[in-house]
Structure 1
Amino acid sequence: MPALVLVEVSIHNPELYEEYKKHTLQTIQQYGGKFVVRGAATESLEGNWNPERLVILQFPDVATAKNWWASPEYSAIKTIRYEAANSKMLVVESV
């Protein structure tokens, strides 16, 4: 069953975050993933949730999404994200 990875990002170093973005697509594709949403504008319909940046990825299943996140390929570049932004990330099984 497909899995979605939801990422809420608050960027404090835009130049460094741009460097991070240059390298993510290849790692995602290596694990059969793709971007569903990549920083598009958001509008809150309920509650007080207005993320600065929202990213949604789709992978073949939860195990593959977790393997991507823990992979050597992504681990090498997620440290850039840690320096450039604060993030919250969830993986959920899709329908």
Structure 2
Amino acid sequence: MTAYLFSEIVTHDPTLLDEYRTIARKAVAEFGGSYLVRNQIPEILEGTVGDDVKVVILGFDTLDAARAFYRSDTYAPAIDVAAKCMSRRILIVDGGD
């Protein structure tokens, strides 16, 4: 069953983004994930979101794969870098296939 990982991101230090992206891409590939949406500005239809928010959506084969990606030793350094250069909210949902 497909699972999706949604990230809402506000970047504070763009100089560290390349380091984050390099680590994240490797981890996404390792866990069979794919980028469905990368670094896009959302169109807000309801509610409020800051003008500086961008969205990333990843797809994984299963919820377990999405969780394993996020909790992996491969992705752990990216979490550390992200804490230095961005604010974000990350959600995982079951695709309900």
Q: TM > 0.5 between the two? A: yes
Query: Could you say what the CA RMSD is over the residues aligned between the two structures, in angstroms?
Result: 1.3
The residue number in structure 2 matching 1:94 is 95
- Answering whether residue 42 of structure 2 is matched by residue 42 of structure 1, we say yes
> Map of 1:30-69 to 2, 5 A cutoff?
30-50=30-50, 52-69=53-70
- Answering whether residue 76 of structure 2 is matched by residue 82 of structure 1, we say no
Task: Flag structure 1 segments of 5+ consecutive residues without an equivalent.
Answer: none
Note the alpha carbon deviations across 1:48-87, whole angstroms, 9 max, x for none: 1346111100001111100111100001222101111111
| Aligned amino acid, residue 72 of structure 2 | S
Instruction: Give TM-score scaled by structure 2 length.
Output: 0.90
Q: CA deviation at 1:47?
A: 1.6
Instruction: Name the CA distance, whole Å, in 1 between partners of 2:76 and 2:65.
Output: 15
Instruction: Name the CA distance, whole Å, in 2 between partners of 1:18 and 1:25.
Output: 10
Instruction: Name the CA distance, whole Å, in 2 between partners of 1:32 and 1:49.
Output: 30
4+ runs of 1 displaced by more than 4 Å?
none
Identical-residue share of aligned pairs (%): 26
Q: CA deviation at 1:8?
A: 0.5
Larger helix proportion of the pair:
1
Instruction: Name the CA distance, whole Å, in 2 between partners of 1:41 and 1:71.
Output: 28
Task: Flag structure 2 segments of 5+ consecutive residues without an equivalent.
Answer: none
Task: Figure out how many residues of one structure are paired with residues of the other and give that number.
Answer: 95
SS at match of 1:72: coil
